[in-house]
């Protein structure tokens, strides 16, 4: 069967054949293209202009620059962002399921389960900003104490697999964001939309 392509793939009103690099949706700069193929029908569901190492470096630098302000965001506000992300997944459940079916070859039952898991980890991550605490330990030096402060590590790189793309990406992305980190996400090329673009 020869793969077929239709008009650019969309998720709601947005195209999914671009990458979010340094705060904007755009094509990768490599000049090479990759086809995202439905494993059941062999139809092309999206095509991507692949990124370069320079695109990746630019994404990292932008994430590092944004991370400091994000880390300084009050815990209640970071939690609100994660709760809203869970709500959006619920509101757009049918669209996400359709994408999991056509891109990952999921059954509707498996796709529904995966969306449930992604929502659950996002809701759980929304509780992390207020659950992270430092510790105070006794010191061997008289009249002193040892304090442990928990701080974000900075930019977290996430490389996700293809077999449960939405959930396996989100279970790393949501906790990292909740705790004040920025994230650069590289989904599996077989599931670039459900493991990356949708998130």
Higher-confidence residue: 134 or 128? 128
Output the average pLDDT for the chain.
Answer: 91
Q: How many angstroms separate the CA atoms of 185 and 183, rounded? A: 6
pLDDT for res 4: 42
Residues 153-173, mean pLDDT to the nearest whole number: 95
Query: Minimum mean pLDDT among 12-26, 41-55, 89-103: which range?
Result: 12-26
What is the band of 18 on the pLDDT scale with cuts at 50, 70, 90?
Answer: confident
Q: Locate 88 and state its tokens.
A: 């959006």
Q: Taking 60 as the threshold, does the pLDDT of residue 9 lie above it?
A: no
Q: How many angstroms separate the CA atoms of 148 and 164, rounded? A: 36
Q: Taking 70 as the threshold, does the pLDDT of residue 22 lie above it?
A: yes
Q: Locate 106 and state its tokens.
A: 């999921």
pLDDT for res 11: 54
Q: How many angstroms separate the CA atoms of 51 and 55, rounded? A: 6
CB atoms within 10 A of CB 169: 26
pLDDT for res 123: 98
Question: For the chain, how long is the longest CA-to-CA vector?
Answer: 77
Round the CA-based radius of gyration of the chain to a whole number and report it. 19
Residues 155-181, mean pLDDT to the nearest whole number: 96
Q: Which CATH class is domain 52-197?
A: alpha beta
What is the band of 110 on the pLDDT scale with cuts at 50, 70, 90?
Answer: very high
Q: Which of 55, 38, 54, 57 is nearest to 46 (CA)?
A: 38
Q: Taking 50 as the threshold, does the pLDDT of residue 49 lie above it?
A: yes
pLDDT for res 125: 98
* Stated pTM of the model: 0.87
Query: Minimum mean pLDDT among 14-23, 68-77, 151-160, 186-195: which range?
Result: 14-23
């Amino acid at each position: 069967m020869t793969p077929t392509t239709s008009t650019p793939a969309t998720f709601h009103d947005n195209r999914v054949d671009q990458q979010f690099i340094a705060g904007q949706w755009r094509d990768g700069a490599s000049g090479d293209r990759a086809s995202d193929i439905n494993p059941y029908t062999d139809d092309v569901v999206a095509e991507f202009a692949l990124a370069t190492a320079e695109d990746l470096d630019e994404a990292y630098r932008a994430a590092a620059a944004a991370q400091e302000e994000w880390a300084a965001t009050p815990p209640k506000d970071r939690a609100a962002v994660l709760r809203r992300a869970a709500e959006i997944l619920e509101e757009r459940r049918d669209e996400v399921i359709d994408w999991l079916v056509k891109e990952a070859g999921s059954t509707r039952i498996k796709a529904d389960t995966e969306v449930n898991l992604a929502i659950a980890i996002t809701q759980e991550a929304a509780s992390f900003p207020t659950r992270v605490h430092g510790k105070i330990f006794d010191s061997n030096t008289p009249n002193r104490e040892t304090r442990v402060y928990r701080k974000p590590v900075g930019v977290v790189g996430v490389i996700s697999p293809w077999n449960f793309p939405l959930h396996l990406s989100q279970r790393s992305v949501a906790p990292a964001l909740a705790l004040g980190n920025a994230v650069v996400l590289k989904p599996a090329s077989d599931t670039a939309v459900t493991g990356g673009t949708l998130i």
